[in-house]
Structure 1
Amino acid sequence: MSDKKPDNIVYSEEQGYNASLLPYATSVGAPVIKADDVVAWKSRGIHSVNKEFENKFQELQSAYQKLMDDYKWNELVYNAKFAFEPVIGETYHMYLGDDGIEFLSLIAPNEWNKEFIGSFKLNSDKKWVVLETATE
């Protein structure tokens, strides 16, 4: 008789009978192997990741906008006219002078009738923190 094996037997010349080692079913009675539907998984993953990127982008955009606002206010205060050395932690008020130039003062907005721009406090990093603006 020949060395030919029947079709329902898994045999290879190099590995012999190796049905238990194969990653796929080798007989009619073996469990059905289904390919997973990865399209839906990918779609959910892409949606989730894109939402995360969008949220992170919004956070960065908001942080950038705040940084630019802080920069502009600091530039305005440092370019304002004042004839004293500001003390850290003290509140100062900025007004628009009659000559059109901004100036800092210790006088509160309710104590005189000048065009109020904003109130600021100098922190330990020499950065002016906005406490109140005329638009609020």
Structure 2
Amino acid sequence: MGKVKGKAQMAMRQQTQDQLNKIIRQIELLGRQAQEINDRIEVSERIYDAQMSFEPIINHHYYLYEKTDGSDVLSMVAPEEWGRKMPYIRFLAKVFLMADHTWQVDFLNAEEVEIEL
């Protein structure tokens, strides 16, 4: 009976550990998704507070920059398109205006953006 009990316990431990590992991976995924949503909220708020000299069009990419005075500006010009010198102190994010008028963050310059939650 001892061998059977030992094998059963070993199988039970392996099975439950597999289940726990799956749950851990799900938790990690949910954490990443929550961070993406928080990033999207923060960037969207900055966009709506930013200076815009145009009306954004659905299904187009735009670029969020920080100006020397600390305010933000939304531009149609990508960082690599500025030539020798970008007129802003920081590139913050590449965003996409979705059909529901929410912003999808395609690239967040994490080294440059301090996200306050």
> What is the TM-score with the length of structure 1 in the denominator?
0.61
SS at match of 2:74: strand
Query: CA–CA distance in 2 between the matches of 1:39 and 1:133?
Result: 48
SS at match of 1:114: coil
Please list every run of 5 or more consecutive structure 2 residues that lacks an aligned counterpart in the other structure: 113-117
- The residue number in structure 1 matching 2:60 is 90
TM-aligned CA distance change 1:56 to 1:102, over 3 Å: same
Deviation, structure 1 residue 72? 1.5
Identity of counterpart residues, as a percentage? 23
- The residue number in structure 1 matching 2:86 is 113
Aligned residues: 103
Deviation, structure 1 residue 124? 0.5
Structure 1 runs (4+) greater than 3 angstroms displaced: 131-136
What is the CA RMSD across the aligned residues, in angstroms?
Answer: 2.5
- The residue number in structure 2 matching 1:122 is 97
* Greater RCO (Cα-Cα under 8 Å, separation 6 or more): 2
| Corresponding position: 1:45 with 2:15 | yes
Instruction: Find 2:42's aligned residue among 72, 84, 91.
Output: 72
- The residue number in structure 2 matching 1:23 is none
Work out which of the two has the higher radius of gyration on C-alpha atoms and give 1 or 2: 1
Query: CA–CA distance in 2 between the matches of 1:65 and 1:132?
Result: 13
Please list every run of 5 or more consecutive structure 1 residues that lacks an aligned counterpart in the other structure: 1-33
> What is the TM-score with the length of structure 2 in the denominator?
0.69
